[in-house]
Structure 1
Amino acid sequence: MKILLLSAYDAASHAYWHRGLVDNLGQHQWTVLTLPPRYFSWRIRGNSLSWAFSERECLEQDYDLLIATSMTDLSALRGFVPHLAGIPTLVYFHENQFAYPESGREYGNVEPKILNLYTALAADLICFNTDYNRDTFIDGCRRLLKKLPDQIPVGVIEQLERRSSVLPVPLPQSVFLPHAPQPGPLRLIWNHRWEFDKGPELLLRAARQLCEAGVDFRLDLVGQQFRRVPEAFQELRAVLGDRLGHWGYVESVAEYRRLLQQADVVLSTALHDFQGIAVLEGVAAGAMPLVPGRLAYPQLLPASCCYCSGEGETQSLVDSVIRLAGLKCAGQVLSAPDISALSWDNMAPLYERLLHRVAAEGV
Structure 2
Amino acid sequence: MRILLLSAYDAVSHQYWRKGLVEQFPEYDWTVLTLPGRFFSWRVRGNSLSWAFSERKCLEQPYDLLIATSMTDLSALKGLVPSLAGVPSIVYFHENQFAYPLSGKEFSSVEPKVLSLYSALAADFVVFNTRYNKETFFNGADALLKKLPDQVPPGLIELLASKTRILPVPVLDTALTKGESQSGPLQVIWNHRWEYDKGPELLYRVMLALKQQNVRVRFHLVGQQFRDIPPVFEQLKKDCCALIATWGHVDSRREYNDLLQNSDVVLSTALHDFQGIAVLEGVAAGCVPVVPDRLAYPELFSGEFCYSDQGNEAANLAEHLAGLAGLKAQQALPRAPSVGQFCWSEQQGAYRQLLTSAAGSR
> How does the TM-score come out when normalised to structure 1?
0.98
CA drift at 1:221: 0.3
Query: CA contact under 8 A between 1:264 and 1:334: conserved in structure 2?
Result: no
Amino acid at match of 2:21: L
CA drift at 1:346: 1.1
CA–CA separation in structure 1 for the residues paired with 2:18 and 2:75:
21
The equivalences for 1:141-220 within 5 A come to 141-220=141-220
Identify the residue that residue 7 of structure 1 maps to in structure 2. Answer: 7
CA–CA separation in structure 2 for the residues paired with 1:340 and 1:250:
25
Query: CA contact under 8 A between 2:324 and 2:333: conserved in structure 1?
Result: no
Query: CA contact under 8 A between 1:268 and 1:290: conserved in structure 2?
Result: yes
Q: Deviations over 1:80-114 (max 9, x none)?
A: 10000000001000000000111011332000000
Q: Give 3-state SS (helix, strand or coil) of 1:299's partner.
A: helix
CA–CA separation in structure 1 for the residues paired with 2:191 and 2:71:
25
Identify the residue that residue 352 of structure 1 maps to in structure 2. Answer: 352
Q: Deviations over 1:61-90 (max 9, x none)?
A: 111110000000101000010000000001
- Decide which moves more: 184-193 or 302-311: 302-311
Query: CA contact under 8 A between 1:219 and 1:244: conserved in structure 2?
Result: yes
Q: Can you give the 5+ residue segments of structure 1 that lack an aligned partner in the other structure?
A: none
Identify the residue that residue 28 of structure 1 maps to in structure 2. Answer: 28
Amino acid at match of 2:70: S
- Decide which moves more: 240-249 or 80-89: 240-249
Query: CA contact under 8 A between 1:198 and 1:270: conserved in structure 2?
Result: yes
Q: Give 3-state SS (helix, strand or coil) of 1:51's partner.
A: helix
CA–CA separation in structure 1 for the residues paired with 2:254 and 2:95:
28
Q: Deviations over 1:204-263 (max 9, x none)?
A: 111111111111100000001111111111111122222211100001110011110000
CA–CA separation in structure 2 for the residues paired with 1:293 and 1:44:
31
Amino acid at match of 2:195: E
- Decide which moves more: 178-187 or 264-273: 178-187
- Count of residue pairs the alignment pairs up: 362
CA–CA separation in structure 1 for the residues paired with 2:318 and 2:300:
22
Identify the residue that residue 283 of structure 1 maps to in structure 2. Answer: 283
The equivalences for 1:82-161 within 5 A come to 82-161=82-161
Query: CA contact under 8 A between 2:189 and 2:265: conserved in structure 1?
Result: yes
Tell me, yes or no, if structure 1 residue 66 matches structure 2 residue 50.
no
CA–CA separation in structure 2 for the residues paired with 1:36 and 1:105:
22
CA drift at 1:178: 2.3
CA–CA separation in structure 2 for the residues paired with 1:235 and 1:210:
16
CA–CA separation in structure 2 for the residues paired with 1:310 and 1:54:
50
Percent identity of paired positions between Structure 1 and Structure 2: 57
Amino acid at match of 2:204: L
CA–CA separation in structure 1 for the residues paired with 2:102 and 2:311:
19
Identify the residue that residue 342 of structure 2 maps to in structure 1. Answer: 342
Identify the residue that residue 249 of structure 1 maps to in structure 2. Answer: 249
Amino acid at match of 1:30: W
CA–CA separation in structure 1 for the residues paired with 2:241 and 2:249:
19
Q: Give 3-state SS (helix, strand or coil) of 1:35's partner.
A: strand
CA–CA separation in structure 2 for the residues paired with 1:74 and 1:241:
47
List structure 1 segments (4+ residues) > 2 angstroms apart after TM superposition: none
Identify the residue that residue 258 of structure 1 maps to in structure 2. Answer: 258
Query: CA contact under 8 A between 2:219 and 2:244: conserved in structure 1?
Result: yes
CA–CA separation in structure 2 for the residues paired with 1:344 and 1:181:
26
CA–CA separation in structure 2 for the residues paired with 1:220 and 1:350:
35
CA drift at 1:31: 0.6
Q: Give 3-state SS (helix, strand or coil) of 1:224's partner.
A: coil
CA drift at 1:26: 1.1
Amino acid at match of 2:299: Q
CA–CA separation in structure 2 for the residues paired with 1:96 and 1:214:
40
CA–CA separation in structure 2 for the residues paired with 1:205 and 1:283:
24
Identify the residue that residue 310 of structure 1 maps to in structure 2. Answer: 310
Q: Give 3-state SS (helix, strand or coil) of 1:7's partner.
A: strand
Identify the residue that residue 221 of structure 1 maps to in structure 2. Answer: 221
Amino acid at match of 2:133: N
Tell me, yes or no, if structure 1 residue 56 matches structure 2 residue 56.
yes
CA–CA separation in structure 2 for the residues paired with 1:69 and 1:107:
22
Q: Give 3-state SS (helix, strand or coil) of 2:240's partner.
A: helix
CA drift at 1:121: 0.3
> How does the TM-score come out when normalised to structure 2?
0.98
Query: CA contact under 8 A between 1:207 and 1:239: conserved in structure 2?
Result: no
Query: CA contact under 8 A between 2:22 and 2:30: conserved in structure 1?
Result: yes
CA–CA separation in structure 2 for the residues paired with 1:156 and 1:355:
24
Query: CA contact under 8 A between 1:265 and 1:290: conserved in structure 2?
Result: yes
CA–CA separation in structure 1 for the residues paired with 2:88 and 2:102:
35
CA drift at 1:360: 1.1
Q: Can you give the 5+ residue segments of structure 2 that lack an aligned partner in the other structure?
A: none
CA drift at 1:176: 1.2
Q: Give 3-state SS (helix, strand or coil) of 2:126's partner.
A: strand
Q: Give 3-state SS (helix, strand or coil) of 1:68's partner.
A: strand
